Amino acid sequence: MAETTTFSGNRALQIEEPLIFELGSAGRVGVDVADAPPVDEDRLSGLRRKAPIGLPDLSEPQVVRHYTRLSQKNYGIDTGFYPLGSCTMKHNPRLSEKMARLPGLVDLHPFQPQKTVQGALEVIDTLAHWLKGLTGMPAVAMSPAAGAHGEWCGLMAIRAYHDDHGENHRRRVLVPESAHGTNPASAAMCGYSVDPVPATDRGRVDVAALKAKLGPDVACIMVTNPNTCGLFEDEILEIAEATHAAGAFFYCDGANYNAIVGRVKVADLGVDAMHINLHKTFSTPHGGGGPGAGPTVLSEKLAPYAPLPFVVHDGDGLRMVEHPESSGGAKPFGRVKGYHGQFGVFIRALAYILSMGSDGLRQASSDAVLNANYLLARLGGTLTPSFEGPCMHEALFDDRFLKDSGVTTLDFAKALIDEGFHPMTMYFPLVVHGALLMEPTETESKETLDGYVEVVKALAAKAAAGGAADEFKAAPKYTPRRRLDETQAARSPVLRWKPGSNA
Ligand SMILES: *Cc1c(COP(=O)(O)O)cnc(C)c1O
């Protein structure tokens, strides 16, 4: 419970919000409905409900206020600076939102006859065309619903290729230690064993160690570039060459593509498959874990194994291929999703791409790198940068600057919340101690970055001065809830409200 000195438990207009089940009173309704028509019990085979359904009884204003207040407790990219590293929280242009709400697009149904949705198929096809053009890759699977889903899709295509070529003994995947957790998870879900590759003290893949691990049972490597330390893997060509020489594929985690889009064609780096998080690079919203989209570009070798469905051009215009028999001799490994992928996200990404143009995209990646280096330069003397030299799209610090202060990375991040900033990414990547990873993106102004820098510097000075550990550990002070017992919440989550369980 937040500490409070008010009678109501509220803090000004920040109102204590109960569960919806704790609101209302029996028999209250928000709508006028006619008496329920008689139900023919026979047709329900005895399944007719015997007890009340247990929904709360509320008026319309109660419902509206409840959900509006909950929505106001959200911190989002539309309310403030969100320097989360790795996850790339950048502005979602209102133009793209407007396009996604065009009645001709928003009112479509996935079961409509294809001849009535030629425009929608063209949206998918045009976006696919751009993704192939920007990456230099010949094919793209559009349907994966997120980055992790794209990883899994790419690995499934790799697996299908190996199985099809009598190489089904290739079941080991090499993953650098700095990888995002989704990489080993996707590999494991695909039936592979995961073999970690160490990092060098330059924050990059240890190429010698990687080469030593390559062998006839390796299906692929999964390398993120730029990597999760915000650094470009400058030995990537050598890595790709050694991988291919061992008969394995190079899966590139493209979550950080926003740092290089318009500057590098990933095909030139020897990539065989790479997902593109449209919700990171192409500025579409991340909404509470979805919907994002993770189209996965594929090389010539992997293209035939791409999942269904996909769009092709033929005599009558555009056609969605839904079945292997009509796929023109391809060998799709299956489907990864119902329907065609996240269509609303495709519209936004295409609107963003077309409004930026290829020169604008190149400018955006340059500005993202510039902004991150601005943070690195301005904070480098106060915090402790983990690696020497400039960074790409995100700046990585470790907790050496907090040494002997009694303040941890977690305490520091919580103190930032009281200052009105969403914290940076903490404790990731795992290759440095107590990581603080910051990604400003190209969409933040210099004023915003300067305001953030001043606060981070002031907090660091306070920690360094000593004697402030207790105060840091008490943060956040001004949020509706203070520190939560995250371990307890993860180990024994209370997911269901039961009548009478109001505490
Ligand atoms: C975000 C991210 C992913 C996973 O993408 P989702 O869209 O969240 O599933 C994978 N790898 C890296 C490096 C990421 O930053």
Provide the pLDDT for residue 497. 85
Asked if the structure places residue 107 within a domain, the reply is yes
Q: Taking 70 as the threshold, does the pLDDT of residue 503 lie above it?
A: no
Q: Could you write out the DSSP letters of every residue in 116-185?
A: G-HHHHHHHHHHHHHHHHHHT-SEEE----SHHHHHHHHHHHHHHHHHHTT-TT--EEEEETTS-THHHH
Asked if the structure places residue 3 within a domain, the reply is no
What atom in ligand 1 is closest to the CA of residue 179? 13
> Which segments of 343-468 does DSSP mark as H helices, in order?
343-379, 409-418, 446-465
Provide the pLDDT for residue 1. 45
Q: Taking 80 as the threshold, does the pLDDT of residue 323 lie above it?
A: yes
Report the residue among 86, 183, 252 best suited for mutation to probe ligand 1: largest number of ligand atoms under 8 A from its CB: 86
The reply to whether 125 and 227 lie within a common domain is: yes
Side-chain half-sphere of 170: how many Cα atoms within 13 Å? 26
Q: Which of 244, 227, 241, 237 is nearest to 266 (CA)?
A: 237
Chain segment 22-78, per-residue pLDDT in tens = 898 888 988 887 887 776 666 777 787 888 888 899 999 999 999 999 988 888 899
Nearest-CA residue for ligand 1 atom 8 is 147
Q: Taking 50 as the threshold, does the pLDDT of residue 254 lie above it?
A: yes
Provide the pLDDT for residue 392. 97
Chain segment 115-147, per-residue pLDDT in tens = 999 999 999 999 999 999 999 999 999 999 999
Q: Which CATH number goes with the domain that contains 317?
A: 3.40.640.10
Provide the pLDDT for residue 290. 57
What atom in ligand 1 is closest to the CA of residue 86? 15
What atom in ligand 1 is closest to the CA of residue 279? 7
Residue after which a domain boundary falls, among 335, 352, 369 = 352
Asked if the structure places residue 1 within a domain, the reply is no
Nearest-CA residue for ligand 1 atom 1 is 87
Residue after which a domain boundary falls, among 314, 330, 352 = 352
**pTM across the whole model:** 0.92
What's the gap in Å between 372 CA and the centre of ligand 1?
Answer: 19
The reply to whether 345 and 435 lie within a common domain is: no
What's the gap in Å between 46 CA and the centre of ligand 1?
Answer: 47
The reply to whether 305 and 278 lie within a common domain is: yes
What's the gap in Å between 276 CA and the centre of ligand 1?
Answer: 9
Average pLDDT, the chain: 93
Q: Bigger pLDDT: 33 or 249?
A: 249
What's the gap in Å between 22 CA and the centre of ligand 1?
Answer: 37
Q: Which CATH number goes with the domain that contains 370?
A: 3.90.1150.10
The reply to whether 173 and 196 lie within a common domain is: yes
Residue after which a domain boundary falls, among 289, 322, 352 = 352
The reply to whether 269 and 385 lie within a common domain is: no
Using alpha carbons only, how large is the chain's radius of gyration in Å?
26
What's the gap in Å between 2 CA and the centre of ligand 1?
Answer: 33
The reply to whether 185 and 266 lie within a common domain is: yes
Torsion sign, CA atoms 155, 90, 228, 246: positive
The reply to whether 136 and 248 lie within a common domain is: yes
The reply to whether 219 and 307 lie within a common domain is: yes
What atom in ligand 1 is closest to the CA of residue 149? 9
Chain segment 332-383, per-residue pLDDT in tens = 999 999 899 999 999 999 999 999 999 999 999 999 999 999 999 999 999 9
44-48, 285-289, 435-439, 477-481: least confident range: 285-289
Query: CA 384, CA 380: separation in Å to the nearest integer?
Result: 6
Asked if the structure places residue 379 within a domain, the reply is yes
- Residue 303 has what DSSP assignment? G
Asked if the structure places residue 171 within a domain, the reply is yes
What residues are paired with 311 via a beta bridge? 320
What atom in ligand 1 is closest to the CA of residue 277? 7
What's the gap in Å between 85 CA and the centre of ligand 1?
Answer: 11
Q: Taking 90 as the threshold, does the pLDDT of residue 480 lie above it?
A: no
Domain hosting 437: range is: 358-491
Chain segment 393-419, per-residue pLDDT in tens = 999 999 999 999 999 999 999 999 999
Asked if the structure places residue 81 within a domain, the reply is no
The reply to whether 130 and 270 lie within a common domain is: yes
| Residue 469: its H or E element | helix 469-474
Chain segment 262-300, per-residue pLDDT in tens = 999 999 999 999 999 999 999 999 865 558 999 999 999
- In percent, the amount of the chain with pLDDT more than 70 equals 97
Chain segment 145-180, per-residue pLDDT in tens = 999 999 999 999 999 999 999 999 999 999 999 999
The reply to whether 283 and 375 lie within a common domain is: no
Asked if the structure places residue 498 within a domain, the reply is no
Provide the pLDDT for residue 391. 98
Nearest-CA residue for ligand 1 atom 2 is 255
Chain segment 207-234, per-residue pLDDT in tens = 999 999 999 999 999 999 999 999 999 9
Q: Which two tokens stand for residue 304?
A: 């035939």
The reply to whether 336 and 385 lie within a common domain is: no
Provide the pairing of β-strand 425-426 with 395-398.
Answer: unpaired
- Structural domain tally of the chain? 3
Report residue 429 CA to chain centroid gap.
15
Nearest-CA residue for ligand 1 atom 3 is 147
The reply to whether 310 and 410 lie within a common domain is: no
Mean of pLDDT values over 11-29? 88
- Ligand 1 contacts (CB < 6 A) are 86-87, 146-148, 180, 182, 224, 228, 253, 255, 277, 292, 294
Within 10 angstroms of residue 60's Cβ, the number of other Cβ atoms is 10
Asked if the structure places residue 260 within a domain, the reply is yes
Within 10 angstroms of residue 177's Cβ, the number of other Cβ atoms is 15
Mean of pLDDT values over 485-489? 92
